[in-house]
Amino acid sequence: MRNEREGGPGVKFRGLINRITGQPVTTTLIAAESLAIIAIVLEGPGPGVLAIAGAVMLLGCFILRKQFVNHSPRTIFLWQLAGGLLLFIGLLAPGVFTTVTDATGAGMTVLVFPPATGEVVLPSGDTVPLGTSVTDGINKSWLMLAVLPSVWLLWTLLFNLYPTATRNRLVNTPAIIGTAAVLLVTLWGPGMEASVFLLFAGIMVVGINFFVERFIALMGMVAILAIAAIFFVMLKDGLPFLFENRDPLFFFTGNLWYPTSEPPLFGLLPLVHGTLLVTLIAMAIGVPISIGAAIYIGEFASRREREILKPVIEILAGIPSVILGVFAMMFLAGVWAGIFNTSFLLNAWNGGFILAVMLFPIITSISEDAINAVPKHLRESAYALGATRWEVARMVVLPAAFSGIASAVLLGLARCIGETMAVLMATGNAKVLHFDIFQPVQTMTATIAIEMGEVPFGSLHYQSLFMLGILLLSITVVVNIVADRIISKYREVGY
């Protein structure tokens, strides 16, 4: 059967080639082909013609594999062996064949055997000197020629001697250690080309699946690594502030943020107050309107209305925050000045309003998902009892969707606290503690954005800004974890 001939995984391998490589013939051939192409690219024509011949043989095996099915595995093996040998020799030949010019000025190619000394004796009897780089190259090539096949065979045997269960585990420690050792040794000894060569030989040995699956596992860790790295860098650059500052408590309780005064004052209360004020305004405006809109879209809107409304709100989600900030700074500020007759053009109300605009798509879409997830039978039973649409929404749907809506609000809260560009442009940036929403404030995020550009690396000011970052990060992480908990608890209820 073809599958057995090819040695499909999970099937008992029959053929000799599969016993050696442990993988289907095609995988081996593909790996060998790529190797050949690399060799040709690196070495060029010339003695590399041997490499080309080997590559052609292997390519032939690959193209004709369907015809090979009816031949014995031994034939395939012999073809592959021959092709692989030619490939090996072709790759390394340029190293061991050297072109020298003899006394008469004619060039000739000689085969130099190790150990290569500083001169070579021609058949005519003359001795021709060789440069050290040339002798180094010759010795290295012979080393590779001798070492690589034996390493490859050893690796194959090692890998195939393991029981299948151990061999196929995702974190296969012996294989990983062996691979790493082999690659490092060749990197140190024969050099980088040997390592690359062995890597591809390894693909031939164990098959591409092995490497792909482990590569995938590595990528999967990237998200964890990324968040860990973020925490690490923030703590590393920010925590020293608490130790180098002579009065760390002032950081949390002081109400003056003047990093450039003498002595510098780092009290973050005005900044926290700015963030909180703007967030409060944004939530006060944004949450009711968003939830109202979500109820309308989820409950009362017809299908055609829904099809138009949902994409339009998603458009708002895609507008970059700088553009919203520009809009708030250049247009909205004037509008508020006209309506409320404020004395300051850029103020907390402006920032809060534009943040509410940014909240609309987030809270609306997540709440609407939650409202849609409420099972139809709950609604229908309420309608059957004679409830109006709003009564159903208020007494049945909203309580059922409450946790989804709560997590939407929390996610919106996290977004508000962490938003930078829009509030940077809209709030006026005055680090003052006051409760008048029509006066400018400065948020923590805006402080970082403004002051980071002019701060000497490693100074107390630099570290204080990283401390602000730590604070922001912690708040958003906590809010996200709580929101996630609520969502998962909400999923457990059985929807």
Partner 1 sequence: MARRGSTDDYNGIKRKSGYQRGRKRFNEILMVNLSRLAVAFIIMVIMVILGYIILQGLPQFTWEFLSQPPRHGMLEGGVAPAIAGTVMVVGLMMIFALPVGMFAAIYLTHYAHPRLQYIVHIAVQNLAGVPSIVYGLFGLGFFVLLLGNAFGWEACMFTAALTLSILVLPTVIITTEEAIKACPLEYQEAAYALGANKWTVMKEVVLPYSLPGMLTGAILSIGRGAGETAPIIFTGAAFYMAEIPNSIFDQFMELSYHIWAMATQSYNPTEATPIVYGTAMVLLMIVLTMDAAAIMLRRRFRSRMRG
Range 353-392, binding partner 1 (CB under 8 A)? 357, 360, 364, 388-391
Cα–Cα distances in Å, from 377 out to 252, 373, 382? 52, 11, 9
User: Interface mask (CB under 8 A) for partner 1, residues 118-147, using x and -?
Assistant: ------------------------------
Q: ∠ CA(220), CA(225), CA(231), 5° rounding?
A: 150
Q: State the nearest-atom distance from the C-beta of 122 to partner 1, in Å.
A: 47
- Do the beta carbons of residue 285 and residue 352 sit within 8 Å? yes
For residue 166, state whether it binds partner 1 (rule: CB under 8 A): no
- The answer for residues whose C-beta is within 8 angstroms of residue 296's C-beta and 6 or more apart is none
User: Where is 121: in which H helix or E strand?
Assistant: strand 119-121
Burial-class residue 85 by CB neighbours within 10 Å (0-12, 13-18, 19+).
middle
CA gap 466, 463 in Å, rounded: 5
Stretch of 45-53, 78-86, 125-133, 307-315 contacting partner 1, by CB under 8 A: 307-315
Q: Taking CB under 8 A as the criterion, which residues in 66-105 touch partner 1?
A: none
Q: Taking CB under 8 A as the criterion, which residues in 237-266 touch partner 1?
A: 237
Q: State the nearest-atom distance from the C-beta of 108 to partner 1, in Å.
A: 44
Q: State the nearest-atom distance from the C-beta of 357 to partner 1, in Å.
A: 6
Stretch of 66-74, 81-89, 255-263, 308-316 contacting partner 1, by CB under 8 A: 308-316
- Four-point Cα dihedral 314, 318, 322, 325, nearest 10: 0
Handedness of CA 473, 476, 479, 481 (dihedral sign): negative
For residue 482, state whether it binds partner 1 (rule: CB under 8 A): no
Our CB check for partner 1 shows the closer of 177 and 481 to be 481
Our CB check for partner 1 shows the closer of 58 and 293 to be 293
Stretch of 77-85, 249-257, 293-301, 373-381 contacting partner 1, by CB under 8 A: 293-301
Q: Which of 31, 145, 409, 479 binds partner 1 (CB under 8 A)?
A: 479
For residue 296, state whether it binds partner 1 (rule: CB under 8 A): yes
Nearest one of 23, 410, 465, 397 to 204, comparing CA atoms: 23
DSSP string, 31-57: HHHHHHHHHHHHH-SSTHHHHHHHHHH
Q: State the nearest-atom distance from the C-beta of 365 to partner 1, in Å.
A: 11
Q: State the nearest-atom distance from the C-beta of 25 to partner 1, in Å.
A: 15
- Four-point Cα dihedral 65, 66, 69, 70, nearest 10: -120
For residue 421, state whether it binds partner 1 (rule: CB under 8 A): yes
Percent helix, strand and coil across the chain, each rounded to 5?
75, 5, 25
Cα–Cα distances in Å, from 280 out to 132, 276, 327, 343? 75, 6, 21, 21
Our CB check for partner 1 shows the closer of 348 and 426 to be 426
Q: Taking CB under 8 A as the criterion, which residues in 399-418 touch partner 1?
A: 411, 414-415, 417-418
For residue 425, state whether it binds partner 1 (rule: CB under 8 A): yes
Residue 125's region, left for phi above 0, alpha for psi from -120 to 50, else beta, is left
Q: State the nearest-atom distance from the C-beta of 131 to partner 1, in Å.
A: 32
Q: State the nearest-atom distance from the C-beta of 364 to partner 1, in Å.
A: 7
Name the DSSP class of 441: B
Our CB check for partner 1 shows the closer of 28 and 141 to be 28
274-291 core/surface letters (b: 16 or more CB in 10 A; e: else)? bbebbbebbbebbbebbb
Q: Taking CB under 8 A as the criterion, which residues in 313-332 touch partner 1?
A: 313-316, 318-327, 329-331
Q: Taking CB under 8 A as the criterion, which residues in 426-455 touch partner 1?
A: 445, 448-449, 452-453
Q: Taking CB under 8 A as the criterion, which residues in 196-225 touch partner 1?
A: 209, 212-213, 215-217, 219-224
Longest dimension (CA), the chain: 114
Nearest one of 117, 94, 122 to 106, comparing CA atoms: 122
Stretch of 56-64, 97-105, 304-312, 370-378 contacting partner 1, by CB under 8 A: 304-312
Tell me the site size for partner 1, rule CB under 8 A: 92
Q: Taking CB under 8 A as the criterion, which residues in 4-23 touch partner 1?
A: 8-11
Amino acid identity at 459: S
For residue 172, state whether it binds partner 1 (rule: CB under 8 A): no
Our CB check for partner 1 shows the closer of 370 and 425 to be 425
- Do the beta carbons of residue 433 and residue 406 sit within 8 Å? no
Q: State the nearest-atom distance from the C-beta of 221 to partner 1, in Å.
A: 8
Stretch of 102-110, 174-182, 243-251, 475-483 contacting partner 1, by CB under 8 A: 475-483
Q: State the nearest-atom distance from the C-beta of 275 to partner 1, in Å.
A: 11
Our CB check for partner 1 shows the closer of 23 and 156 to be 23
